[in-house]
Amino acid sequence: MTRGGSGLRQRVRTARNRSAQSTRWLERQLNDPYVHRAKAEGYRSRAAYKLTELDERFGILKGAKRVVDLGIAPGGWSQVVRRMAPKAAVVGIDLLPVDPIDGVTIFQHDFMDDAAPAMLMDALGGAPDIVLSDMAANTVGHPQTDALRTMALVETAFAFAIEVLAPGGTFVSKVFAGGADSALVAEMKRHFTSVKHAKPPASRKGSVEWFVVAQGFKGRRDDSTSGA
């Protein structure tokens, strides 16, 4: 590693057993101000600032009482929730193991499993006013396939949200470049008073991720009474 002086960019020499790709990743981490800030402020990842910046713009966490965090690993979003709404009940789920977070119930489980929604709701003890999803499918290197796989997670998270959210609630989800497709956005607008796309500054410029923020859940409609 070379250090040309305080505040200057750090470069990582390519080690014999380190690929050029991993060298570039390490160099990017070492020079990322959000990574340094996360370490200084006790967050587990720079992703915490994506939610922080979304909250600054949309007021997502104001008055939060119950929150579901889908794709919680490594825990940065739930840490933000705990700091911004310390009295809120928080439940998270991820396939990956997550170190304990004070005040957060964490399940290492597949959200796509049929048993997952009931597990989350039983632990939460009531309808959430916020459902957060930072889930993304493992990439296979084919952009169209990767986008479709992640969109399937977005759609599943959205279906869960409109089943469990309290009236007035909020749904936030990671999506790929271009945002949620038009059919899904139209469906969101049927259920929420406001649907916006945003790319917070903490999302790297070269990243394809965006976020959809749906606020003002209109409540579940009782189809059995429609047309009566």
- Rounded to whole angstroms, the Cα distance separating 74 from 98 reads 6
| CA angle, 166 then 168 then 169, to 5° | 60
Q: What is the DSSP letter of 165?
A: P
**Is 174 one of the catalytic residues?**
yes
Place of tokens 């899904």: 184
CA distances from 4 to 15, 28, 30, 54 (A): 20, 16, 14, 35
Catalytic residue chosen out of the listed positions 39, 62, 65, 174: 174
Q: What is the DSSP letter of 2?
A: B
- Rounded to whole angstroms, the Cα distance separating 27 from 176 reads 25
Cite the active site residues: 174
